């Protein structure tokens, strides 16, 4: 059982559509991060959220940290083919801040 549950596991959409990826846990995290990974490469950090209820925007990407710091979401507006990739959420557990735990990832394909 994953400590961080991501959904959906796969997402295939057309260019211009909106989408939301969810990251849920029963545990509290001191901070949560979202990464994007391209084939054959390591994950690259997109954003870090620290405060419960925090919302951060990165161009067409909106990240939200739940009030209780147990969940997070990534919303992409008007998806483009360049958004295609594996999106991973990862969190530092409260009190165990040296361990970064990852979710299983959401594989997104955006078709022209």
Partner 1 sequence: NAGVTQTPKFQVLKTGQSMTLQCAQDMNHEYMSWYRQDPGMGLRLIHYSVGAGITDQGEVPNGYNVSRSTTEDFPLRLLSAAPSQTSVYFCASSAGVPGNTIYFGEGSWLTVV
Q: Under the criterion CB under 8 A, does residue 97 sit at the interface with partner 1?
A: yes
Q: Under a CB-based contact definition with an 8 Å cutoff, are residues 48 and 33 in contact? A: yes
* Look-up of token digits 């029963």: 26
Instruction: Scan residues 72-91 and list those touching partner 1 (CB under 8 A).
Output: 88, 90
First vs last Cα of the chain: how many Å apart? 35
Q: Under the criterion CB under 8 A, does residue 98 sit at the interface with partner 1?
A: yes
Q: Under the criterion CB under 8 A, does residue 44 sit at the interface with partner 1?
A: yes
Provide the 10 A C-beta neighbour count for residue 93. 18
Binding segment toward partner 1, per CB under 8 A, in 12-20, 44-52, 60-68, 75-83: 44-52
Q: What is the DSSP letter of 69?
A: S
Residue ranges that bind partner 1, judged by CB under 8 A: 2, 4, 6, 9, 30-31, 33, 40-45, 48, 50, 88, 90, 92, 97-105
């Amino acid at each position: 059982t994953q400590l961080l549950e991501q959904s959906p596991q796969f997402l295939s959409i057309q260019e211009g559509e909106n989408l939301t990826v969810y990251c849920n846990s029963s545990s509290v995290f001191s901070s949560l991060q979202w990464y994007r990974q391209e084939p054959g490469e390591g994950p690259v950090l997109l954003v870090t959220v620290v405060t419960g209820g925090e919302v951060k925007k990165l161009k067409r990407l909106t990240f939200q940290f739940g009030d209780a710091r147990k969940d997070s979401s990534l919303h992409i507006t008007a998806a483009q083919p360049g958004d295609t990739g594996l999106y991973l959420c990862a969190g530092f557990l409260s009190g165990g801040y040296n361990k970064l735990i990852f979710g299983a990832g959401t594989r997104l394909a955006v078709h022209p």
